[in-house]
Amino acid sequence: MQRIRAVGREAAAKKYDILSAMMAHALTGDPHDQRLVLRLMALITTRYNWQSDELTIGQREIARLWCVDERTVKREMARLRVLGWIIVKRQGARGRVSVLGLDLDRILLDTRPAWPNIGPDYVARMGSETEPAGTGAAPADTTVVPFRRPEIAAEAGLWGAARALLAAEDRALFDAWFAGLADGGVEQGCLTLIAPSRFHAAYLRTHLIERLRIAVRRAGGHVAQIRIEAG
């Protein structure tokens, strides 16, 4: 998936598409998830700068907008960070609020299962927007019976649970980069993963470390660091 930015000549349409994806995703969830997404959409529509990818607003202002107390704001913003939907671009200090950003790629990846509820035209449009150039689906060959890959079940341990989430999220990416990782265990707040080669380890550190962090957080892991070593 390429980096999504709602800027340029078609910026307005892209903004509506992203908000529509969030809306459709929320409507498939339980009331808690619906409220969380609605609260984020309120921040986006009132305070988010699409051009610079910056959300700058204090907890007191958020509490007033959401009609909640500041403790609820802290809890809900923490949930959004765990999901990977919100990232901290610059930590607040000396009376200045933190500068936050949105990971639009992550949002679109998580909301993708709900896109068909909007309509086939939306799926076709967003599919072409989020696939890298040159990777469009080739016409189906009806003479070939597709091979159904077995699902990856969650295994014991933090990495066992995280790898199942990664496989369910994007099986092709999982097979290429995550399936070959071995669990090196957790020690002093650091999860160690063993890659098949130095190139493999370097690629993961450079391009996919954030996706690994999100999967580990969603698996319930509270580690401060993920270290990738070559086997």
Long-range contacts of 180-185 (CB under 8 A, 24+ apart): 181/228, 182/231, 183/157, 183/159, 184/227, 184/229
Which DSSP helix (H) or strand (E) runs through 99? Answer: strand 99-102
Q: Is the pTM of this model over 0.75?
A: no
So what's the pLDDT on residue 169? Answer: 85
Residue 171 reports pLDDT greater than 60: yes
So what's the pLDDT on residue 4? Answer: 56
Percent of the chain exceeding pLDDT 70 equals 84
Residue 1 reports pLDDT greater than 60: no
pLDDT tens column, 124-162: 988 765 554 333 444 444 454 445 556 666 677 899 999
CATH class of 158-230: alpha beta
Alpha carbon distance 70, 17 (integer Å): 30
So what's the pLDDT on residue 153? Answer: 64
> Which CATH code fits 11-108?
1.10.10.10
- Provide the residue ranges of all domains of the chain, joining segments of one domain with +: 11-108, 158-230
- Upper half-sphere CA count for residue 119 (Cβ side, 13 Å): 5
Average pLDDT of the chain, as a whole number:
85
So what's the pLDDT on residue 13? Answer: 87
- Upper half-sphere CA count for residue 224 (Cβ side, 13 Å): 3
Alpha carbon distance 182, 100 (integer Å): 33
pLDDT tens column, 179-214: 999 999 999 899 999 999 999 999 999 988 988 988
- Amino acid at residue number 23: M
So what's the pLDDT on residue 95? Answer: 77
Alpha carbon distance 192, 225 (integer Å): 9
If pLDDT is split at 50, 70 and 90, which confidence band does 40 have?
Answer: very high
Q: Which residues pair with 195 in a beta bridge?
A: 230
Alpha carbon distance 174, 99 (integer Å): 32
- Amino acid at residue number 201: A
Residue that wins the pLDDT comparison between 48 and 94: 48
